[in-house]
Structure 1
Amino acid sequence: MRIAFDPQIFSIQKYGGISRYFVRIAEEMHQKGEQVSILAGYHINSYLNDCSPKLVKGKYLEKYPSRSIRAIRKLNSITGNLRSSLTRPDLIHETYFSSKPVVKSKAPVFVTVYDMIQEIYPDQFHAGELVTNQKKDALKRADHIFSISHHTKTDLCRLFDIPSEKISVVHLAADNPLELGSFTNSIEKPFLLYVGLRFDYKNFSKFLKAFSNSDSLKKEFNIIAFGGSGFSQKERSLIQSLGLQSNQVIHCGGSDLDLGRLYAKAYAFVYPSIYEGFGIPSLEAMSYGCPVLSSNSSSLPEVVGDAALTFNPMDGDEMTFQMEKVAFDLEIREQLIAKGYQRAGEFSWEKTARETMDVYRKFV
């Protein structure tokens, strides 16, 4: 089967979950003998640099020249259309949302929906970041839609009035854990780990408040928040008002290897989010042997199963109770580690690619 992925996401993300997803399934499909082309054009995506040259049709740029993004995306569309006309793919999988096709073809078109966060929480985004109209147009054009969770599918049907039969659910996966090698742990105090951005729906402030409500947690543990920008003045003021020391709630960033080492050293990973389209960090933590405490909201129960302690993300007391349970009950912590390894093993990019191919074959 000749499969083409269009260039959209690779000109948007240098790193990120969406581009990683497409790279991983493209690699898996290629390994199974499918003829896969990532029509990346001039792109900024680092994941593509590690792909086989047979997969990637394009050129990596460290960054786009000033004021050139529109021209480059137009050029990518032109070259993508040329390659499509020459190779005649059996299908096009669009990697993000556009009102008109970036790569034109008479072949079936597939689009993946990752979440409905912008539609549910539009006030948490700048107007220029919202792609709801483009998403609606892309989904209307698509012959079929992938959703990365059953919860996202339910929201998609409810908010956009799309027939259920037009949508197939295919879960994502986490990358295999990295070889961490020997490293020095410079963090002396046990810590709870938070990963990702800190929009309001991510519920980081509720996590801080729940943590601060326990004298035992405050005495014995720190918090490390990995990813996103440094703490805002509002966040620093909240930390101070909760009676937490500035060196007790630590922000850091880094590479996948840095994150892997934090997962491996963390006493637990806490995922307090109110809404997620899937929730890969839960599986990442499990794969490194890190116990998971997770919100029971949106898609997260689909991902964690019975391998995490869960809580209502709006109930701070319940969150505190579950954090104390994993922090001070060694038997429960060991059970979560064992269940986590098993649960993480139930998801793989090979499985994601295989189930995606099964849907493709219904149209090709």
Structure 2
Amino acid sequence: MKIVLDNIIFSNVNNGGVSNYWFELIKYIENQDIEVTYIENQKMESNFHRNQLNISSEKIFKTKYQKWNRLLPIDYNIEDEIIYHSSYYRALTHAKNAIEITTVHDFIHDFFSPIYKRKLHNYIKYAAIKRSKGVICVSNNTYKDMQRFCPTKPHQQTAVIPVGVSDDYFPKENTLQDFAQLKEWNIEKNGYLLFVGGRVNYKNFDYVLEVIKHTHFKLVVVGGGRFNKIELKKMTSISSAILHLDNVSNAHLNLLYNNAFALIYPSKYEGFGIPIVEAMKSGCPVIGFNQPIIKEIVADAALLLNHLDPSAYIYFENLLNKQTYRNEIIAKGIENSKKYSWTKCSKETLEFYQSLS
């Protein structure tokens, strides 16, 4: 079996969930006895994950970087049968025996993006789904959305292969160094709520700010870039209670999960929701929004809000203040998180390749 992997995602972004997914897949494949070629261009140098990979130059097929690379097919002349998997929906030309595979992470654009952005993204994604022999979805909810928006045909094979979570996340006792770091951040164990990731509208960050106005906890916000003017205006009365950390190592994020009162994650939609599993794996209780993908991922191992009002959060806060209940939800979360590993994800992806070749 010959595999060709298109690493275009490393040019599209500097970091992020899809980049990490691709990084973990390559890490696994590099440790297998498999013939593999990687398609790359020169703009990959700034990507966090690509810089951690040591790939032999003999395995790399170089392409010229152009601004619209992600929209254009790759001229790759080969007659052999190959498994071809792009990290971002690109087609191959002149590879008549290529068996194409696509991974679909979510349908966020279909629900929330403005029409011009949605049309461009969907043109690329839907075309990839339609021409692929095999399609991987990262959750059952994503699979259902795919059958709604771009249903597959009977001749296509599909698989639901959940993504994994790094082993960098685990329950731990604080060391002297950890206490020093918490002091530097001016936060204490169980003295803050944690919010991780982007803050676009469907993430309901506004609700989190309302919660902070009704509780004594601080709020630690990880990632998502700088606060915009609208966010800053809404924070005026609570700015002293908010800490923003944009670039955080896995070790520091694990420390934050371990010491948080809870991860608050009221997102209306996700393809998967990696921070939720990271939190559970770290022994951090999760307060999320009661929507299909979150229910699929957490099962009964998290607290799910039916309504986004502060009183609903306060009810859960009171539950988590009861140590017996808190210990139970933490134990359920740790156990539930064991279902999600990068080794399992990558192994099942490789098995899917083999089933199509």
Is TM more than 0.5 here?
yes
SS at match of 1:351: helix
Distance (Å, rounded) in 2 between the aligned partners of 1:355 and 1:313: 37
1:49 is displaced (CA, Å) by 2.3
Give the corresponding residue for 2:37.
Answer: 37
**2:229 aligned with 1:238:** no
Contact 1:6-1:39 at 8 Å conserved across structures: yes
Partner of residue 349 from structure 1, selected from 331, 336, 342: 342
Distance (Å, rounded) in 2 between the aligned partners of 1:247 and 1:105: 60
Contact 2:221-2:243 at 8 Å conserved across structures: yes
- Further displaced range: 252-261 or 139-148: 252-261
Partner of residue 161 from structure 2, selected from 165, 170, 183: 170
**2:91 aligned with 1:127:** no
1:70 is displaced (CA, Å) by 2.8
Give the corresponding residue for 1:333.
Answer: 326
Give the corresponding residue for 1:111.
Answer: 102
Partner of residue 132 from structure 2, selected from 142, 167, 180: 142
TM-score (structure 1 length as normaliser): 0.83
SS at match of 2:295: helix
Distance (Å, rounded) in 1 between the aligned partners of 2:69 and 2:231: 38
The one-letter code of the counterpart of 1:225 is V
Give the corresponding residue for 2:260.
Answer: 266
Report 1:1-364 matches (<5 A): 1-42=1-42, 43=44, 44-54=46-56, 57-58=59-60, 69-70=66-67, 77-78=74-75, 81=76, 85=78, 88=80, 90-98=82-90, 100-101=91-92, 104-123=95-114, 127=117, 130-163=120-153, 166-177=157-168, 182-183=177-178, 184=180, 185-186=182-183, 187-189=186-188, 190-212=191-213, 214=214, 217=215, 219=216, 221-240=217-236, 244-256=237-249, 257-312=251-306, 314-326=308-320, 328-364=321-357
- Further displaced range: 9-18 or 37-46: 37-46
Distance (Å, rounded) in 2 between the aligned partners of 1:193 and 1:149: 24
Percent identity (aligned): 27
1:265 is displaced (CA, Å) by 2.1
1:89 is displaced (CA, Å) by 6.0
1:51 is displaced (CA, Å) by 2.1
- In the TM superposition, what whole-angstrom CA distance separates every residue of 1:311-343 from its partner, at most 9, and x where no partner exists? 2254553233223322x2222222222222222
SS at match of 1:290: coil
Count of matched residue pairs:
342
Distance (Å, rounded) in 2 between the aligned partners of 1:103 and 1:279: 37
SS at match of 2:51: helix
- In the TM superposition, what whole-angstrom CA distance separates every residue of 1:215-273 from its partner, at most 9, and x where no partner exists? xx2x3x10111111222221122233xxx421112222113233222222212111110
- Further displaced range: 69-78 or 44-53: 69-78
The one-letter code of the counterpart of 1:138 is A
TM-score (structure 2 length as normaliser): 0.85
SS at match of 2:264: strand
Distance (Å, rounded) in 2 between the aligned partners of 1:128 and 1:141: 20
1:72 is displaced (CA, Å) by 7.1
Contact 1:291-1:333 at 8 Å conserved across structures: yes
Distance (Å, rounded) in 2 between the aligned partners of 1:15 and 1:45: 6
1:74 is displaced (CA, Å) by 9.8
Contact 2:204-2:267 at 8 Å conserved across structures: yes
Distance (Å, rounded) in 2 between the aligned partners of 1:206 and 1:303: 22
- In the TM superposition, what whole-angstrom CA distance separates every residue of 1:171-229 from its partner, at most 9, and x where no partner exists? 001111169973321223410000011111001112222343x3xx2x3x101111112
Mind listing any 5+ residue stretches in structure 2 that lack a counterpart?
none
Distance (Å, rounded) in 2 between the aligned partners of 1:253 and 1:342: 29
